[in-house]
Chains A and B, each alone.
Chain A
Amino acid sequence: MNLFAILSDIEKRDAEAYERIAFSRRKLLKTTAYAAVGTTTLLTTTLNKAFAANSEVVDVFNFALLLEYLEAEFYAMGLARPGLIPESDRMVFMKIGEHEQQHVQLLKSLLGADAIAKPMFDFTGGGKYPTVFSDYQTFLVLSQSFEDLGVRAYKGQAPRLKGDKQILQTALRIHSVEARHAAEVRLIRGLRVWASEQETGGAPKAIYEGENLVRQHDLVDLVSVTKPMIKQQGGNTEQTDTEIVRESFDEPLSKEKVLAIAGPFVKATP
């Protein structure tokens, strides 16, 4: 499925959205101060009005909504399949599924009429994972894939939301919840909780491409700086030092790359 087609539909509507948002924003500035948010309604009303008067926010949030739809449906289907998720892990997936559903609701209410509709999903990924809802290990591989991908997706979009503090804060607070999910699922699988190219756990390699940076920004080599101070005593010290630095930072992924990875799981828009 070409996800760019789904998302470009939204762009056509952006011109109208711009007008509407710009109008409500002007009105907002005249009438109220936006602070004190407690309830969903109040929050979404406030943020709707704060929707930075350009299409960036709509674009980013619809991209996020697509991924949240995917995750929410994935867990709903997995939980509905008797015998798939062992009793010992059921609580975790119920809670993760609930969070994803909350993210869908939150993004939909913020986007209002600009929200994309939920597409149809193919969780076999075009036939690559035929046992996704009958084999628990396959289900776990995809769960980890979607969560780690989601973390990178939000991280990649954060700079585009910089124009509005409340909007950016909302995205950042969803981002860290996705990271909690990713870590939890990796723990269930007996994997290290950090994302890295060398420990994909059978998830598509593309999800972890570029995770192994050891130089952040243009800072000097953190490996040699931290090497004399670390506690872990690995067999091959050189490698261990490098891994520690790699694991200490999660890397963003561009929207294009995220969509290319998610593409096989999206069938069509209704």
Chain B
Amino acid sequence: MEKLNEQQPVKSRPTIPAIPSVERRMFMRQLGLTAASVTALMTACTREVTDVNPVTGRASARMGASVLPDGTIDLGSGDIGIANLAYSLEQLETAFYATALERATGLSAQDRKVLEELHDHELVHREFFKGILTNNAIPMLEFNFSNINFNDRYGVFDAAQQFENLGVAAYNGAGPLLEDVEMLKLAGKIVSVEARHATLTLNMLRPKTYFSLGHELIDVLGRDWFRTPVEAAMKAQPFIKQKLSVANLPTY
């Protein structure tokens, strides 16, 4: 499992345009949630709106993730909360593929090639979110894949398609809740890659069928599956050792 926590090279800090007023309003809404958030609120309200930058952090680090006294990881609120959810899911997918490549039996060379490709994309996504979240990022998570059958390729690809489809649903559900249009653009660039992954993993099970096209996930209006950020986090929770707090995630 130690391979799941690879060394992270030091990166310079990227910048994402500030979304000051919105984040400030978010602070207002969260009044009274916890003692910690009240403190945050008081601090935030005294700040100049213009120097709050929720993704790059500086003035708004308190918006980001926090580890609560009992070890629970709060994903944070607003766009940071959504980015941390995405970061969690990308961590989960990367760790799953790494574990499958280490542990799974009964895989063909082609199966392994596909899993490697998927692993590498998810790793890029993971590092991307880590990069934009900087000091607002949640820690590296630990995972529990004990319910996944790594003894044959069907177990592996069935789990893979579930993670990939959850990814699609999570981005579809979170996109409309993003405040920063830059974040929306970035999420859009990733979700279609997740949909391509989902299609590939479904095809590894039952190629060229209604199933491989995600038939069961697409409604009669031709719309793909979606999960709200809270629902998506709950779906991922059984595979994550730490408890996630979704209390501050944006809702519809």
Contact = CB atoms under 8 A, between A and B. Distances in A.
Interface of A: 40, 43, 88-89, 91-92, 95-96, 98-103, 105-106, 151, 155, 158-159, 162, 165-166, 168-170, 172-184, 187-188, 193-194, 216-220, 222, 224-226, 228-232, 244-245, 247-252
Interface in B110-167: 113, 116-117, 119-121, 123-125, 127-128, 131-132
B172 to A, nearest CB: 5
B73 interface: no
A70 B42 CA distance: 55
Contacts, number: 204
A248 B125 contact: yes
Interface stretch (B26-34, B61-69, B214-222): B214-222
A159 B181 contact: yes
Contacts of A95: 210, 213, 215
The size class of the interface chain B forms with chain A is 35 or more
11 contacts: A101-B222, A103-B222, A106-B221, A172-B171, A179-B192, A179-B196, A180-B213, A220-B14, A229-B127, A244-B120, A252-B185
Contact of A184 (B188, B213, B221): B213
Contact of B116 (A222, A224, A231): A231
Nearest to A99: B222
Interface stretch (B46-54, B74-82, B198-206): B198-206
A177 B214 contact: yes
Given A96-B213, A158-B185, A231-B119, A244 B191 contact: no
B194 to A, nearest CB: 8
Contact of B224 (A151, A173, A228, A250): A173
A180 B14 contact: no
B252 A219 contact: no
A151 B192 contact: yes
Given A40-B220, A218-B14, 10 more contacts: A89-B208, A95-B215, A102-B221, A174-B222, A180-B198, A217-B182, A222-B131, A249-B190, A250-B192, A250-B196
Interface in B200-246: 200, 203, 207-210, 212-215, 218, 220-226
A183 B199 contact: yes
Nearest to A194: B196
A173 B214 CA distance: 12
A228 to B, nearest CB: 7
A229 B130 CA distance: 14
A82 B221 CA distance: 28
B116 A169 contact: no
Nearest to B114: A193
A193 B194 CA distance: 11
B186 A172 contact: no
B218 A194 contact: no
Contact of A229 (B123, B125, B171, B184): B123
Contacts of B212: 92, 184
A180 B168 CA distance: 10
A172 B191 contact: yes
Contacts of A91: 208-210
Given A89-B208, A177-B218, A180-B195, A158 B186 contact: no
B200 A183 contact: yes
Counting chain A CB atoms within 10 Å of each CB, the highest count among B120, B125, B189 belongs to B120
B133 to A, nearest CB: 11
Nearest to B12: A220
Contacts of A40: 220-221
A182 B173 CA distance: 21
B193 A247 contact: yes
